[in-house]
């Protein structure tokens, strides 16, 4: 499977925007891009849901069900959203769903949910039946990881923790992407970028603020191996 898995330092840090920019770049270079998001929550909040923005950026015609098999109204962690809906997220359905999405294109862009250690299922806490985390799905899909992170204060620690967790899972960090990157970065943002690259021994890209309505206006965001 060729593609990337976009995680982030947490929720609302720019995963969808980064995944969309990578998808758009790959599509603009002639690839058939498929997108996948294991679970979407917060549909009650309105606005364009992640699966719709990803589809639009990729120029894909995948149905909602194929992009995001689990979709929930409340803005809560996916395991809790599933519980409130009276169901449990099934890792086998996620693996099969990602495989089916991948078969719809020649490049698969996956967006995680929240940060890298967010649970999709809890298993039974205190017993040997382990939960299934975003980390476990990423490991099962074996795609290189892109980490979306903010550019400002606090990002060094959050990003380096995520880099360590990804590598501890045996996965490759293809890049960190700081988003949105200010038009006129100050000492703080420039220093954050250099510090993460140096201490994390990782490539760090910067994504400027995009007009989300106009993918044709977005700058390219290339990832090695795509």
Ligand X SMILES: Nc1ncnc2c1ncn2[C@@H]1O[C@H](COP(=O)(O)OP(=O)(O)OP(=O)(O)O)[C@@H](O)[C@H]1O
Per the DSSP assignment, residues forming a β-bridge with 5 are: 110, 145
Query: Could you say which of 33, 134, 165, 207 contacts ligand X (CB under 6 A)?
Result: 207
Give DSSP secondary structure letters for 113-138. SSSTT-EEE---TTSS---EEHHHHH
Q: Which residues are catalytic?
A: 37
Give the integer Cα–Cα distance in Å for 95 and 149: 26
What residues from 43 to 72 belong to the interface with ligand X (CB under 6 A)?
Answer: 50
Least CB distance to Mg ion at residue 68 (A): 11
DSSP 38: S
Least CB distance to ligand X at residue 126 (A): 28
Give the integer Cα–Cα distance in Å for 141 and 94: 10
Q: Per rule CB under 6 A, is residue 215 in the interface with ligand X?
A: no
What residues from 5 to 24 belong to the interface with Mg ion (CB under 5 A)?
Answer: 15-16
Closer residue to Mg ion, CB minimum distance, 50 or 189: 50
Pick from 143, 104, 159, 134: nearest CA to 223: 143
The helix (run of H) or strand (run of E) holding residue 188 is helix 187-200
What residues from 101 to 160 belong to the interface with ligand X (CB under 6 A)?
Answer: 114, 148
Least CB distance to Mg ion at residue 16 (A): 3
Least CB distance to ligand X at residue 179 (A): 4
Q: Tokens 């998001």, residue?
A: 37
- Which spans of this chain sit near Mg ion (rule: CB under 5 A)? 15-16, 50
Binding site for ligand X (CB under 6 A): 8, 11-17, 50, 114, 148, 179-180, 207, 209-210, 212
């Amino acid at each position: 499977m060729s593609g990337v898995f976009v995680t982030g330092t947490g929720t609302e840090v720019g995963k969808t925007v980064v995944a969309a920019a990578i998808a758009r770049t790959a599509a603009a270079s002639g690839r058939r891009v498929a997108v996948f998001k294991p679970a979407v929550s917060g549909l009650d909040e309105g606005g364009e849901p992640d699966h719709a923005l990803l589809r639009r950026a990729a120029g894909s015609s995948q149905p909602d069900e194929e992009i995001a098999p689990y979709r929930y109204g409340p803005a809560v962690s996916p395991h809790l959203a599933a519980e409130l809906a009276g169901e449990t997220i099934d890792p086998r359905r996620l693996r099969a769903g990602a495989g089916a999405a991948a078969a719809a294109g020649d490049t698969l862009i996956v967006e995680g949910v929240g940060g890298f250690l967010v649970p999709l299922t809890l298993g039974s806490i205190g017993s040997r039946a382990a939960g299934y985390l975003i980390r476990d799905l990423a490991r099962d899909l074996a795609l290189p990881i892109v980490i979306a992170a903010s550019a400002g204060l606090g990002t060094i620690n959050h990003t380096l923790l995520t880099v360590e967790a990804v590598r501890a899972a045996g996965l490759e960090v293809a890049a960190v992407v700081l988003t949105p990157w200010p038009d006129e970065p100050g000492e703080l943002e420039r220093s954050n970028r250099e510090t993460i690259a140096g201490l994390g021994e990782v490539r760090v890209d910067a994504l400027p603020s995009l007009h989300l309505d106009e993918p044709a206006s977005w700058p390219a965001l290339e990832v090695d191996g795509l």
